[in-house]
Amino acid sequence: MIDKLAWIETSEGLVLSTRSKGRTSYYLPGGKRELGETDAQTLLREIKEELSVDLDAASLQLMGVFQAQADSHPDGVLVQMTCYTGRYAGTLKPDHEIEELVWLCYKDRDKVSAVDKLIFDWLKGKGLLR
């Protein structure tokens, strides 16, 4: 099981997604927990590294936990994505390994990873994704 955290940022029925250098699929911003990190510590570090903004730790709210087959891994290797929403300060821009950031709608579901497809379905069901 791969333990990852993701930040869900929606606006006007769209969700913020990223594409890493050398990849074709889009992923919700976030990443893997380092040894001893809390959910908030992981998210604050990953989002600063990937998008150059600062998440407000006090505003983080758990959205859900989703599991699916991990991209680029053998069958049976799952990723568990713990998702939060929260306010941020700064200007969103791709940084480090992130080549592109985009705002996606539900019709873009075929462009995202397996676990993100589950999250897209959930967001659509909650009326947060058009």
pLDDT score at 67: 97
Position 130 in a domain: no
Domain count, the chain: 1
**Model confidence at 72, in pLDDT bands (50, 70, 90)?**
confident
Under 8 Å CB-to-CB from 90, ≥6 apart: which residues? Answer: 52, 53, 54
Q: Write the CATH number for 22.
A: 3.90.79.10
List phi, psi (to 5°) of 121.
Answer: -60, -45
Write out pLDDT tens, residues 79-105.
999 999 999 999 999 998 999 999 999
Position 41 in a domain: yes
pLDDT score at 85: 98
Position 103 in a domain: yes
Position 123 in a domain: no
Position 128 in a domain: no
Looking at the DSSP bridge assignments, the partners of residue 101 are 18
Position 29 in a domain: yes
**Rounded Cα distance, 38 and 36, in Å:** 7
Domain that holds residue 88: 2-118
pLDDT score at 71: 82
Write out pLDDT tens, residues 6-34.
999 999 999 999 999 999 999 999 999 99
Position 101 in a domain: yes
Token pair for 45? 């570090």
Looking at the DSSP bridge assignments, the partners of residue 68 are 79
Write out pLDDT tens, residues 31-45.
999 999 999 999 999
Position 91 in a domain: yes
